[in-house]
Structures are given as C-alpha cells and as structure tokens.
Chain A
Amino acid sequence: MMSCLPTFSWRFLAVWQRNFKVWKKLALPSVLGNLADPMMYMLGLGYGLGRLLPDVNGVPYLSFLAAGTVCYSTMNSATFEVLYSAFSRMHVQKSWEAILNAPMTLDDVVLGELSWAASKSLLSGLAILTVIWLLGLQSSWLLSLWVIPVVVLIGICFAGMGLVMNSISPNYDFFMYYFTLVITPMVLLCGVFYPVTELPHWLQTVSSWLPLTHAIDLARPLLLGSMPQDILLHAFALLAYGLVGFVVALHLTRKRLLT
C-alpha cells in the first residue's frame, strides 16, 4: 500500500462478502428494482415507439432495443453501486476506515468494491436477459448466452470509471455532474435507443470512443443472431476503461484516505 504498485490479498473477497451479506437482506426488492426500471423502458418504448417505426435496421424496434437495455441497465447498476453505495460506505459510515485497521490494504477494499459492483450489475444484466429470453427477443439462444461475458465486462468498465468519481466526491450531490456529463450523453450517443449511424458524422466519431458504444457493438449482434465484429477491440476498450479507472481511483483514494 505504501508503494505505488497495488498490493492485493485474497482477503479482498471479504469486502465482497460484506456487501453481499447486506444485499441478501434486501435481495427481493433489489432484484425487482433491477427489473422494473429497464422493463418499463423496454416495453414502454418498445411497444410505444415500435408501433410507429416499421423496423430499425431491418429488425423490430423491441428487438433492437433489447441489447441497448441490457447494456445501459448494467452500466447504471454498476455506476450506482460505486457512486452512491460505495460512497456511503467510505465517506458516511466510515466502513472503509474500519476495514483498514485490519490487515487489509486500501487496494483490497477498492478491488472488493469493484468486484462487488461488477457482480451486482451482472445480476441486473441477467435479469434483463431473462426477460429477453422470456419474450423470445433473441435470434439465437447460443449466441445470446455470449451476452453474459459482455455484461461482466460492462460491469468492470463502469465500476472502475465510477470509482474515480467516488474518490474525488465531496458529497452525494457531486455525482449529478457525472450523470449529466457522462452517463446521460452516453445513453443518448451510444446507440441504446437508435442506431449510432443516425447521428451526424462528428458525433459518430465521439460515440466510437465511448465505452457504452463498444458494449452495444458486442451485445446487439449477439442478440440479433450474428457474430459481432472487432470483438477483441471492443472487449479491450471496455477492460481498458475499467482498469484505467480502477488504477486512477486507487491512486486518488489513497490520497484521500491515507495521507
């Protein structure tokens, strides 16, 4: 912890376990919450808009929307976890300080939080995926299973990015900036609700650099029954955003708590 290089121990899993133990107490409402919001979007927009649109890129609008919904609710779930929940553990409840008095490093704690947020968002993604399967929106069963690892990558990506905000935030209100400046633009620019190709050229360029675009470029073909292109590039982009975020967050959180 004293060196610049991270020092981890397997006890980071104890942080994961701690969060899991709390989650278990409220598991049912939490899972329902995971489902309700994206379901309303998907069904509301899917049926509401879907009737106005004959098809999008040759598929029914609801099928088009399915992949966007998986990606964006996974993103939201990971983001909320590392912003509001991790922040209350770190800053309000001082749980992190308590943990640091045990033989744990801050690196363990932050890694524990990242893995927990990724796990929780995996659950969100799986919940939507289940709805997609129930509604039969996937073209191929087998290909749609590959959305699961994509969801894991999305979780890691946005947990890592969100932890940076967690490390510099003075209070909960600060997170609004992140939603307004990062998350909302991403929802609008990355092809959740409509194809990126509908955007002006310069916005498409911006979009191609955003992590959610990479997520959707993987998930959408998989749900529509074809192999995605540039799989390694997209996977690498998601991981890179997550890892860079994680390393920066580690550095800033050390500064915040350990000086």
Chain B
Amino acid sequence: MRVLTVDNLAKRYGDRRVVDGISFTIEKGQCFGLLGPNGAGKTTTLRLLLGLIRPDGGQIDLLGHAIPQAAREARMRVGVVPQMDNLDPDFTVRENLLVYGRYFGLAHAEIEARIPRLLELAGLQARADSLINSLSGGMKRRLTLARALVNDPDLIFLDEPTTGLDPQARHLLWHSLRQLMNEGKTILLTTHYMDEAERLCNVLGIMDAGKLIAFGPPGEMIARHIEPSVVEVYGDVLHDAQVIMQPHCERLERVGETLFGYCAKAEPVLQALKPLAALRITHRPANLEDVFLKLTGRDLRD
C-alpha cells in the first residue's frame, strides 16, 4: 500500500529553488531515509509534505489525502519529530503528552490510557513528573518521539532525530524506531549519519540543492554508484602513492593528507603499495558515506 506519493514537488524562496522538482513514493512499513548536506532542502520538503507551506508546483498524496488541501485530515494520522525540540517547558513529561494529545481531539481518558506505553517506549517512566528543562538531550529527543506517537500515527516524520545525541542515546532511539517498524508503522527520517541511514532505512533518497539525485535501497545504491573497495592512504609521500595507485583504481580522491582509492579489487592496490612502508594504509568495503560524498561532493555547504 502506498503511503506517500510525491510528484514533481517544487518550492522557491526568492530566486532559489529550495525544492526542485522531486518525485518519490513510500510504501507502508518502509523506512525512508532522506540524506543531504546542510541546506539541501530536507526540512523544507517535510514542511511541504505536512502542508505547512504552499508548494510552487507538484502533487502530494499523503495517506490518501491531497496536500495541502486536506493537510489537516492527513496530519491526524501522522506523527512529527521536528529538527529542533519544541517540547513545552511549562509542563512535565506526562503533561506534555497529555496536552499534545488534545491537539488531535483525543479525549482525556484516551490519552491517559496511552501514556504508560509512551513513557515506556521513551524509557521515561521514572521521569514522568519531571519538568522538561531537567531532562538530558537524549531524554528530550525520546520524549519528542513519544509525543509524536500520541495519536498512534500510521506514518512518522523524523527530522534529524539523533543529531547531538551520544552513542547510547542514539542506539536507544534506533531501538525504538525498529520497534515501531515491527509494528508496521511507516517512517520518513532525515539524517546526516550514514550509519544511521544504512542501519535503519530500507530506502534512501539523496538530496542536493533541492534535487533528489539518487533513490533506492542502501545496498543497491552502493552497488550502483560506487566501486566496491576503498583503499585509504595517510602520510606525506602521497604523490608517490598516487602514481602507484592510478592504474589499479577507478577513481582517486585526495583530501588533505588522505588519499582515497576507489577500486574494483583491493588486493592489487595493496600489493603495489607494499614498498611505501612509511604510509598508513587501510582497506575497507565501500559504504554509503562514499556514495554520498561522490554524489554531493566534498565542499562545505554553508
């Protein structure tokens, strides 16, 4: 079943095409990861999908509702974890869930009945009566996720859910997201962490300058866009290494003191580099980060 259909969606700010004709679909139960450098247009895309801003072109069908015309009906069935936490600092953890549930028109008793489960999912049972400002960053993020689930949504949008969290907090959040996927929920998340995308998502989209430049399952994306092996060389005789690697690698990239060799097979490269003992050499399979950097380049965006 199709949960989201986006067709040729466009948004301009002044002369800038912030979202430039993107199209994709998400099926029920999928976890779709939207990747892209800062300013690529990820948050703007989410805001368009929620019907918060008016597109300059294109069509959106979200859970059978046309957006933005029927955005209110669609948002009934959607949960949102925004990029910046906006929990209500005037309330405790429990009150935040209660008050937020009312925005969905839920009855007090109904929300009360859901709260224990939400607190458990967020691992915040012991902090139910704490004020927001006394929570750690990880706890706030988990509570924001719990809040997004108060209406038992079919689809959950998460805008950089783990940015700024420590590894423990990230793993806990991933665990919660997997649990939700097991329950059959559909997830759309944006992230800057390739490991997160690779672990959680079964479909990825890479966005750059408002365009969706790649789309597909992570494994397929790696296979399609990049050579399978990467040899990384660190040291100060990189020029010699470059000359040696050239014939064996499809692509060489130099970033400061590091040389990246992308190749079909690593063995011949490693053999050829043997004489240069002063260099530090590592060899690994190509990953999503390599794809991302290849497609979006290595320049800083802002």
CB distance from A210 to the nearest CB of B (A): 34
Q: Give A2 to B50 CA distance when docked, in angstroms.
A: 12
Q: State whether A102 touches B69 (Cβ < 8 A).
A: no
* Option from A7, A98, A258 in Cβ contact (under 8 Å) with B52: A258
* Option from B54, B69, B75 in Cβ contact (under 8 Å) with A101: B75
Contacts of B72 in A (CB 8 A): 1, 7, 9, 103-105
Q: Give A101 to B69 CA distance when docked, in angstroms.
A: 15
* Option from A93, A101, A258, A259 in Cβ contact (under 8 Å) with B82: A101
CB distance from B24 to the nearest CB of A (A): 21
- Identify the closest chain A residue to B147 (Cβ): A98
- Identify the closest chain A residue to B11 (Cβ): A259
Q: Give A10 to B102 CA distance when docked, in angstroms.
A: 11
Quick check: is B293 within 8 A (CB to CB) of the other chain? no
Scoring A15, A98, A100 by chain B CB atoms within 10 A of each residue's CB, the highest score goes to: A98
Interface size class of B (residues with CB under 8 A): 20 to 34
Q: State whether A22 touches B91 (Cβ < 8 A).
A: yes
Q: State whether B95 touches A21 (Cβ < 8 A).
A: yes
Interface size class of A (residues with CB under 8 A): 20 to 34
* Option from A2, A11, A259 in Cβ contact (under 8 Å) with B105: A11
Contacts of B80 in A (CB 8 A): 101
Q: State whether A102 touches B86 (Cβ < 8 A).
A: no
Contacts of A14 in B (CB 8 A): 99, 102-103, 105
CB distance from B132 to the nearest CB of A (A): 10
Quick check: is A17 within 8 A (CB to CB) of the other chain? yes
Q: State whether B102 touches A18 (Cβ < 8 A).
A: yes
Contacts of A11 in B (CB 8 A): 102-105
Quick check: is B128 within 8 A (CB to CB) of the other chain? no
Q: State whether B71 touches A1 (Cβ < 8 A).
A: yes
Quick check: is B223 within 8 A (CB to CB) of the other chain? no
* Given A2-B69, A258-B52: A102 and B88 interface contact (C-beta under 8 Å): no
Scoring A7, A10, A18 by chain B CB atoms within 10 A of each residue's CB, the highest score goes to: A18
| Count of chain A to chain B residue pairs whose CB atoms are closer than 8 Å in the complex | 74
Q: State whether A98 touches B91 (Cβ < 8 A).
A: no
* Option from A7, A97, A103 in Cβ contact (under 8 Å) with B104: A103
Interface residues of B in 30-81 (CB under 8 A from A): 50-54, 68-69, 71-73, 75-76, 80
CB distance from B232 to the nearest CB of A (A): 42
Q: State whether A95 touches B86 (Cβ < 8 A).
A: yes
Q: State whether A258 touches B99 (Cβ < 8 A).
A: no
Q: Give A104 to B76 CA distance when docked, in angstroms.
A: 9
Scoring B50, B91, B102 by chain A CB atoms within 10 A of each residue's CB, the highest score goes to: B102
Quick check: is A51 within 8 A (CB to CB) of the other chain? no
Interface residues of A in 29-70 (CB under 8 A from B): none
Q: State whether B91 touches A102 (Cβ < 8 A).
A: no
Q: State whether B75 touches A103 (Cβ < 8 A).
A: yes
Quick check: is B166 within 8 A (CB to CB) of the other chain? no
Contacts of A10 in B (CB 8 A): 105
Contacts of B51 in A (CB 8 A): 1-2
- Identify the closest chain A residue to B13 (Cβ): A259
Contacts of A21 in B (CB 8 A): 91, 95, 99
Q: Give A5 to B72 CA distance when docked, in angstroms.
A: 15
Contacts of A259 in B (CB 8 A): 53
CB distance from A6 to the nearest CB of B (A): 13
Q: State whether B86 touches A258 (Cβ < 8 A).
A: no
Q: State whether A93 touches B86 (Cβ < 8 A).
A: yes
Q: Give A203 to B294 CA distance when docked, in angstroms.
A: 72
CB distance from B161 to the nearest CB of A (A): 14
Contacts of B15 in A (CB 8 A): none
Contacts of A258 in B (CB 8 A): 52-54
Q: Give A25 to B129 CA distance when docked, in angstroms.
A: 14
CB distance from A253 to the nearest CB of B (A): 13
Quick check: is B219 within 8 A (CB to CB) of the other chain? no
Contacts of B252 in A (CB 8 A): none
Quick check: is A252 within 8 A (CB to CB) of the other chain? no
For B225-253 the 0/1 string (1 means CB < 8 A from A) is: 00000000000000000000000000000
CB distance from A232 to the nearest CB of B (A): 37
Contacts of A94 in B (CB 8 A): 84, 86
Quick check: is B174 within 8 A (CB to CB) of the other chain? no
Contacts of A93 in B (CB 8 A): 86, 88-90
Quick check: is A243 within 8 A (CB to CB) of the other chain? no
CB distance from A237 to the nearest CB of B (A): 34
CB distance from B79 to the nearest CB of A (A): 8
CB distance from B288 to the nearest CB of A (A): 29
Quick check: is A248 within 8 A (CB to CB) of the other chain? no
* Option from A2, A15, A98 in Cβ contact (under 8 Å) with B54: A2
Interface residues of A (CB under 8 A from B): 1-2, 7, 9-11, 14-15, 17-18, 21-22, 25, 93-95, 97-105, 258-259
10 inter-chain pairs at a CB distance below 8 angstroms, sorted by A residue, are A2-B51, A2-B68, A15-B103, A17-B99, A93-B90, A99-B103, A101-B75, A101-B82, A102-B104, A103-B76
Given contacts A2-B51, A93-B90, 17 further A-B pairs with CB under 8 A are A1-B71, A1-B72, A2-B71, A10-B105, A14-B99, A14-B103, A18-B102, A25-B90, A93-B86, A93-B88, A97-B86, A98-B100, A101-B52, A101-B82, A102-B75, A102-B104, A103-B104
